[in-house]
Amino acid sequence: MKKGFSQWLQKQNPDIVCVQEIRVKEYDITDTLKHIGKFTGIFHYAERPGYSGVAIYSKKTPDSVITGCGIDEIDKEGRFLQAQFGKLTIVSVYAPSGSSSMERLNVKFQFMKSITPKLKLLMKSGSDVVICGDINIAHHKIDLRNWRNNQKNSGFLPQEREWLSYIIEELGFIDVFRKLNKEEGQYTWWSNRGQAWKNNVGWRIDYQLASPSIANHAQSVSIYKQSRFSDHAPLIVNYKYNL
């Protein structure tokens, strides 16, 4: 917010924005944070202060909101928020990183295993579904600059990539960005170390994974890099869709 997110959001004027790693508790949410111009936020907080958490901002009030996915280990870290807008289901999701320790990597593997049945149900629900957020996995070699040096690091491990392939190839979700953009050098996250941002040494770990019913209506995709709000950049998809 201090780096201009509020102004960007109103200028961008989307229908829906999903935000991850908000790092706040309910008592931190001032009116300025909840209401940004025409947008109103809904939030799922982690139990631990200053950690994780997800949000969805929209101009239209959701018909219903589901806070959490019903899996305690995931929900206590504030990683899944679902909102329904008519036939459209939007999920803001934040997958664990797994890079800090073997314990956290195991938490990430458990997240992947636990969330899969939920994603399968969403795909079978008959809704137009968009899973939007920080998946913390670069799917293919094209999705990170230094893939050779990261084959044994969390974010590009074979198990992680195979899981994402399963979500796409078996469950039927579409990686909307890659559907429209096949170019190299398209990243959404850069380490704060060294000159990663300046030299575009990044990873594409943020996704919109959508059911074919809405993915096939995607008109354009982009990664917003004119301003920098965090170590991630906003991933934008425009759909020809009546909300």
Q: What is the pLDDT of residue 152?
A: 96
DSSP-assigned states of every residue in 148-212: GGGTTSTTS-HHHHHHHHIIIIIS--EEHHHHH---SS--SEE-SSTTTTTTT-EE--EEEEE-H
What is the pLDDT confidence band of residue 243, given thresholds at 50, 70 and 90?
confident
pLDDT score for 114: 96
C-alpha 168 chain-centroid distance = 15
Across 155-167, average pLDDT: 98
> Has residue 100 got a pLDDT over 90?
no
User: Rounded distance, CA 183 to CA 191, Å?
Assistant: 21
pTM for this entry: 0.96
Q: How confident is the model at residue 170 (pLDDT cuts 50, 70, 90)?
A: very high
**Cα(97)–Cα(99) distance, integer angstroms:** 6
User: Which residue in the list 31, 75, 134, 231 is annotated as catalytic?
Assistant: 134
Indicate the pairing of strand 202-203 with strand 88-94.
unpaired
Q: How confident is the model at residue 24 (pLDDT cuts 50, 70, 90)?
A: very high
Catalytic annotation on 134?
Answer: yes
Sheet strands (E) in the chain: 16-20, 35-36, 39-44, 54-58, 64-67, 80-85, 88-94, 128-134, 174-175, 189-190, 202-203, 206-210, 218-223, 235-239
Phi, psi of 33 (to 5 degrees): -80, -35
Helices 102-124 & 158-165 angle (0-180, nearest 10) = 10
Of the pLDDT bands very low, low, confident and very high (cuts 50, 70, 90), residue 116 is very high
Contact 131, 69 (CB under 8 A): no
- Measured between alpha carbons, how far is 35 from 6 in angstroms, rounded to an integer? 10
What's the pLDDT score for residue 184? Answer: 97
